[in-house]
Amino acid sequence: MSTYEERRQNYLSRIGQINLTRVGEYQKSPQEILAEGVRLSTKITEPRTVEQLTEKAMNAEAYAKEGGHDVFLFGIAESLENTRCGTTSQNEYFGWIDEGKRIMRHMRDGFVSFQDLHERDDFIKMSWQREAELLVCLALYEKSDHPQAKVRYAELLLKLQRLRQIRSALLVGTNNKADQRPFSEAERSRMLSYLDALDGMEEYDSSGDYHNLHLLQELQMLGISHMNDAEFYYGGYSFYLRMLEEQRRIIAQKREKEEKEEKEKLYEYLNQPDEYVALVRHQSDTREQVRRRIQELSGRKLSRYNLRAQGQSVDLRMFRAQRYRDLCNNS
């Protein structure tokens, strides 16, 4: 591999990692996606039951069978995919190609407007969430022994690859910021090569030629083929193990974030010792104790300390009103 090609591949890899980090905060976890699939496939909404069934799906348990074959894991995957794609899985896929081409044309029609950039970024964000859902469905199909599971698995594997190719065409083939400067002829020509690749993808796939050699060579030349991604390169790749690892990673990140927030809170209180002492003193207070303390601090109720000092129960609000009249009469 040439030095130029190495730099190009490293650049594409960094772009992918940056965008993964950017969307990580709002992207659903595998467990959340599974729970949604459980609700869709079983029509069960009771939280505890959904949680139990989600755990079974996470453990790849064939909870329900028909004719000796799994319908639980398969049903969750089918429900997720059918709901997400809107019409059919294939229609959604060709819709991605059309949307990618439309965005590409807008991005090269003269200059990059904020509207153009907004359309581009919306598609890219959507693609990351759809990829997360596809990965979960692939994991479920992988573990299901349903007669149609392998067929669905093969269809989604191609769909995942195409989604990445379309996203990469937009990430690499278009600008990532608004620019009122008109494009040069070289820039327009470069973007046209990515648009032509999407045209070719639509043409060959419409005729069922999903592995056309000419298209593959064109995508490889542009650096957006994704043929060397682990999911497509290794025959024994396990989407199920990937799902488990992704869930563990999310849990670990959440725990790390919570610990960081706790430490920051502790440091903050250590810089304010009086407030920290008050926090520690009342951290085990009951709801009634908190309510009483608020009333005492607001003057709506006397504390036992004030009562002991005064030797009698006096309404502070009446005392203050009388004090106010006395001051007015003395002025």
pLDDT in tens, the chain (331 residues): 456 555 555 554 555 455 544 444 558 999 999 999 999 999 999 999 999 999 999 999 988 888 889 999 999 999 999 988 877 788 898 999 999 999 999 888 877 888 888 999 999 999 999 999 999 999 999 999 999 999 999 999 999 999 999 999 999 988 888 777 887 888 888 889 999 999 999 999 999 999 999 999 999 999 999 999 999 988 889 999 999 999 999 999 989 888 888 887 777 766 666 665 666 666 677 778 777 777 777 666 655 555 554 544 445 444 556 666 776 776 5
Q: In degrees, to the nearest 5, what angle opens at C-alpha 267 toward C-alphas 263 and 271? A: 170
* pLDDT, position 139: 97
Q: Where are the alpha helices (DSSP H) in the chain?
A: 3-23, 30-42, 47-58, 72-85, 89-107, 114-143, 149-173, 185-206, 213-222, 230-233, 239-270, 273-282, 287-298, 304-310, 316-330
* pLDDT, position 109: 80
* pLDDT, position 260: 86
Helix 149-173 × helix 185-206 angle, to 10°: 170
* pLDDT, position 1: 47
- What spatial distance separates the first Cα and last Cα of the chain, rounded to whole Å? 95
Q: What are the tokens at 242?
A: 């990937």
Query: How far is the C-alpha of 175 from the C-alpha of 161, rounded, in Å?
Result: 23
Question: DSSP code of 148?
Answer: T
* pLDDT, position 166: 96
How would you label 294-316 residue by residue, b for 16+ Cβ within 10 Å and e otherwise? eeeeeeeebeeeeeeeeeeeeee
Query: How far is the C-alpha of 152 from the C-alpha of 135, rounded, in Å?
Result: 12
Look up the pTM and report it: 0.73
* pLDDT, position 186: 85
Question: Cβ-count burial of 142 within 10 angstroms (0-12 exposed, 13-18 middle, 19+ buried)?
Answer: buried
State which amino acid sits at residue 258. Answer: E
Query: How far is the C-alpha of 76 from the C-alpha of 73, rounded, in Å?
Result: 5
* pLDDT, position 180: 78
